C-alpha cells in the first residue's frame, strides 16, 4: 500500500473569500482516504502566472479555474495540461471558450426547452478591418429594426450574445427604446429576446458536478440581496424539474460548475441565461448560500482527485438528440431522459457513495469552521475589497449573521 498525495490547484483572479475557506477546511479535514489499495492525501495550492514550457509536467490532478473565460495565458496553460498531463479542470476550457449564450440557446431549443424567442442582430458599429467595407457593401443586408421589434413583440431584452454580469443588458418597452438601445450598442453583437412578461418567480440553479442548489433570485435588488433566503418557493415537482434541467445543460456542455437562470410564468419555467460557467461565488452575493458553494466545491474536487476521474474533453450530443427526436414524448419525460445521461456522466451514484464513505465528517467540520474567526476574516476580506470603509463593519456583520443563520438551519435539519 502506497501513500499518495493528490494535488488540487486553484486558478484565481479577484477571488478572496471562497479560496481561503476552501484551503482551511481541506486542511482541517486532514484526509487519508483508502482507495484501491493506496492511501490518498490531498494538498491544495494557488496557481501562479508565469512563462511555461509546453512540455513541462503538471503536478496537479484537479484544477478549479476562475480565469479561463478571460485570461489567455492561464487558458492556454490549462489546455496544455489537459492534453499532455490529463489534468481534470472545472470547467472544460474549450466548451467554456466556444459555448456562449447564442450556442446554448440554440442547443437547448433543439432539446425542446422553452427558451424565449430570440433574434440576433448585426452590430451597430464595427472594428476597423481592411476587408470590412468591401464585405459590408457586398453582403450586409439593410434591415428594419422596427419590423423585428413588431415580430418579436414588446417588452423584450437587448443583451450581448456572449456577455455576462448584466453588461450591456437593456429592458426594451417600445420601438423608440429599441432604436435608442441599438444606437448605443456600439460593436456588441446583440440578441433581442422576448421578455417573459408577468413571471411570478425568478430562480438561479447552481450546479457543481451532480449537486444542484435552487435559489430564488431577485435581479432588481441590490447585489448583496439578490440571492434570497427562502425555503418554500417551489411547487410540487418543480425542484426536481429545475435540478434535471441544470444537470442536462451542464452535462451537455461538459461543465462541472454553472448557474442556470429561469423564469416561471403560468407554471412553465423559461430558461433565459445558462452560459454562466464561471458563476458568482462570493460571500457578498451568496451569503447564506456561500457555505453550500464551498462544501460542494470541496466534495466534487476531492472526489475527482481521489478517484482519478477522467475529464470528458469533447462533447457527445447524440444521446440527447436521440431523445429530443421523439416528437410524441412530452418535455417532462424527455428531461428525465436527459438527466439520466447527465447522472451517468457525472457518476452521481458513485459520487454519493464516495461522500458517504469518506466525507461523512465534512458537515461537522463545515459547521464548526463557519463559526470560526478564520471564516469571519475571509468574509471581512471580501467586504473590504468591495465596500467603502465606513460600511465595512456593517456588511461584515450582515453577511456573517446570514452564515450563522445557515449554521442554525443545519443544526435543526
Going from N- to C-terminal start, the domains of the chain cover 3-97, 98-116+199-277+310-344, 119-194
Give pLDDT tens digits for 294-313.
Answer: 999 999 999 999 999 999 99
CATH class of domain segment(s) 98-116+199-277+310-344: alpha beta
- pLDDT tens-digit map of 30-86: 999 999 999 999 999 999 999 999 999 999 999 999 988 888 999 999 999 999 999
Alpha-carbon span 123 to 120, nearest angstrom: 9
**How much is the pLDDT for 68?**
82
CATH top class, domain 119-194: alpha beta
Per-residue pLDDT tens digits of the chain, which is 413 residues long: 899 999 999 999 989 999 999 999 999 999 999 999 999 999 999 999 999 999 999 999 999 999 888 889 999 999 999 999 999 999 999 998 888 889 999 999 999 999 999 999 999 888 888 888 888 888 888 899 999 999 999 999 999 888 766 677 889 999 999 999 999 999 999 999 999 999 999 999 999 999 999 999 999 999 999 999 999 999 999 999 999 999 999 999 999 999 999 999 999 999 999 998 889 999 999 999 999 999 999 999 999 999 999 999 999 999 999 999 999 999 999 999 999 999 999 999 999 999 999 999 999 999 999 999 999 999 999 999 999 999 999 999 999 999 999 999 998 87
pLDDT of residue 137: 85
Give φ, ψ of 401 to 5 degrees.
-65, -40
pLDDT recorded at residue 164: 65
What pTM does this model have? Answer: 0.95
- CATH code that applies to domain 3-97: 3.40.50
Mean pLDDT of the chain: 95
Amino acid at each position: 500500500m502506497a501513500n499518495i498525495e493528490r494535488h488540487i490547484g486553484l486558478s484565481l483572479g479577484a477571488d478572496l473569500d471562497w479560496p481561503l475557506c476552501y484551503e482551511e477546511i481541506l486542511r482541517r479535514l486532514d484526509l487519508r482516504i483508502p482507495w484501491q489499495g493506496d492511501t490518498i492525501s490531498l494538498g491544495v495550492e494557488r496557481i501562479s502566472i508565469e512563462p511555461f514550457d509546453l512540455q513541462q509536467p503538471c503536478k496537479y490532478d484537479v484544477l478549479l479555474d476562475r480565469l479561463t473565460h478571460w485570461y489567455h495565458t492561464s487558458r492556454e496553460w490549462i489546455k496544455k495540461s489537459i492534453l499532455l498531463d490529463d489534468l481534470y479542470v472545472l470547467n472544460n476550457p474549450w466548451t467554456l471558450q466556444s459555448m456562449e449564450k447564442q450556442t446554448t440557446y440554440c442547443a437547448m431549443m433543439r432539446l425542446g426547452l422553452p427558451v424565449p424567442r430570440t433574434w440576433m442582430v448585426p452590430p451597430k458599429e464595427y472594428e476597423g478591418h481592411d476587408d470590412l467595407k468591401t464585405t459590408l457593401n457586398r453582403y450586409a443586408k439593410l434591415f428594419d429594426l422596427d419590423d423585428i421589434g413588431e415580430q418579436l413583440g414588446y417588452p423584450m431584452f437587448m443583451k450581448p450574445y456572449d456577455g455576462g454580469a448584466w453588461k450591456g443588458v437593456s429592458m426594451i418597452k417600445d420601438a423608440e427604446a429599441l432604436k435608442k438601445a441599438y444606437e448605443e450598442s456600439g460593436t456588441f453583437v446583440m440578441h433581442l429576446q422576448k421578455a417573459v412578461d408577468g413571471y411570478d418567480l425568478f430562480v438561479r440553479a447552481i450546479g457543481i458536478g451532480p449537486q444542484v442548489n435552487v435559489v430564488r433570485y431577485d435581479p432588481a435588488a441590490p447585489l448583496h440581496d439578490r440571492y434570497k433566503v427562502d425555503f418554500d418557493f417551489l411547487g410540487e415537482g418543480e425542484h426536481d424539474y429545475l435540478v434535471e434541467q441544470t444537470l442536462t445543460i451542464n452535462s451537455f456542455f461538459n461543465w462541472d460548475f454553472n448557474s442556470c437562470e429561469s423564469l416561471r410564468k403560468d407554471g412553465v419555467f423559461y430558461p433565459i441565461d445558462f452560459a454562466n460557467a464561471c458563476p458568482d461565488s462570493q460571500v457578498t452575493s451568496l451569503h447564506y448560500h456561500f457555505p453550500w458553494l464551498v462544501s460542494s466545491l470541496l466534495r466534487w474536487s476531492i472526489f475527482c482527485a481521489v478517484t482519478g476521474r477522467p475529464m470528458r474533453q469533447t462533447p457527445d450530443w447524440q444521446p440527447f438528440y436521440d431523445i429530443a427526436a421523439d416528437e410524441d414524448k412530452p418535455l417532462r419525460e424527455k428531461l428525465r431522459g436527459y438527466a439520466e445521461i447527465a447522472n451517468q456522466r457525472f457518476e452521481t451514484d458513485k459520487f454519493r457513495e464516495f461522500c458517504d464513505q469518506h466525507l461523512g465528517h465534512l458537515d461537522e467540520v463545515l459547521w464548526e469552521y463557519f463559526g470560526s474567526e478564520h471564516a469571519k476574516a475571509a468574509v471581512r476580506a471580501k467586504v473590504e475589497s468591495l465596500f467603502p470603509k465606513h460600511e465595512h463593519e456593517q456588511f461584515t456583520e450582515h453577511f456573517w449573521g446570514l452564515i450563522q443563520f445557515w449554521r442554525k438551519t443545519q443544526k435543526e435539519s
